[in-house]
Amino acid sequence: MYLKPIILSLILLATARAGQRPNILFIAIDDLRPELGCYGAPQVKTPNIDKLAAGGMRFDRAYCQVPICMGSRACLLTGILPTSKRFVGDCRVAVDVPDAMTLPEAFRKAGYTTLSNGKIFHGKEDTADRSWSEAPWQSAANMQSHDPETTRRLSKTKQRGRIYESPDVADDAYPDGQTARKTIEDLQRLKKEGKPFFLACGFIKPHMPFYAPKKYWDLYPRDSIQLATNRQRPANAPKELKGSGEFRSYHLAGLDENSDEFHRMMRHGYLACTSYTDKLTGDVLAELGGLGLAENTIIVLWGDHGWHLGEHNFWGKHNTMHLAIRVPLIVKVPGKKPGASSSLVETTDIFPSLCALAGIATPATVQGRDFTALLDDPKKPFHEAAYSRFVSADAVVTNHFSYTRYEGGKSEMLYDLSKDPQGNRNVAGDPKYAETIATMKKLLKKRQVEAAK
């Protein structure tokens, strides 16, 4: 007769604690490099993301593990590092690491409502049955909302249409606007339900093609667009270094891809789409605050990889150059002081860090590291070297250098970021850097061994 009150008390205590567990708002942005006002970009207009960064922790040296959408998202959402046999090409978590628990799955098992809107996994069906409380939502206008076979067929279309458009339409005329609207509706519903939630909101832009409402293009007069000053190939770069040719699958409006006019058009499109996504991010954050949820919600905003904007005449990612692997990462935790950290972090570290912040056990398969100590001490050293790889290239980045070694070991790149942050000169063959090369090789081997475990 005394057990019932005790059991009831325990249930009430557990319920109270569950109510105090932090919500997670997880904002993923496709192809977004740190081309944001809060990262010092001189021309882009991103007031909403800048405001988020001003109230949170901005990570200035965050790196993705694979500079392509599929692999990068697979790494982050499992906390697992890539290898030459894992997260390569058109990969899926359910195929490459079928026994690994995903980030939303860990929160779902802990009693959270987990929802996915827009592009989160690359392929909404990947682990959907165990990761999400409801079927992942995507706009019907998003190509990935089709079945996998149709998506693959459409993605191989030789000519995908014009690379940019700027119609005078409302924000929700495009999939990203519809994703923001759906996320806002979910916030309203989740507020009423009162359960802790993990709500993922994935925006496609600024991924090509550069489609955004006219008002965002109007923010940037075309003749004012600043161009890359290093459009030449890096000096001494090996033949293995290549850029992405994805942009050539679109109609380029009759422009010569080497012309200033083409470079200005491409940059204009990227900036317009970035400002469009910034506005949608602001709409979601405003609703979060208006509902009174911000006080108990951890906000994470990240880009899945970097992007070249004409530097070295590259457009896109698909290599291990610094601009292709460095990403924006902002984490806002209620009660934590805002700041900025230059410590090296990886996107695989997001998984264990969110688990730590929510008081959830980190799955044994996770290889990432908990960076929550940096939220209190931003200058605390973290990774000695950040690791990335793409197809046949493996790379590590330290505080001052970026090193890439291609399979077979015959070709390598070393960039002195302290003197050459844009990566204009490969100094791997310079005798003055022989000791640095030896050190970077050891660091790379160490990270490869760690990834292979």
Catalytic sites, residue numbers = 69, 122
* Cβ–Cβ under 8 Å, residues 403 and 444: yes
Q: How far is CA 135 from CA 113, 198, 203, 306, in A?
A: 12, 14, 18, 29
Query: 10 Å Cβ neighbour count for 112?
Result: 23
Locate all alpha helices (DSSP H) within 64-174, ordered by sequence.
69-78, 93-96, 103-109, 128-131, 148-155
Q: How far apart are CA 301 and CA 297, in angstroms?
A: 13
Short-list 345, 423, 370, CA closest to 60: 345
Short-list 341, 325, 242, CA closest to 33: 325
Residues in the chain: 453
* Cβ–Cβ under 8 Å, residues 130 and 105: yes
Query: Which letter, b or e, does each residue of 395-433 get, where b requires 16 or more Cβ atoms within 10 Å of its Cβ?
Result: bbbbeebbbbbbeeeebbbbbbeeebebbbbbbbeeeeb
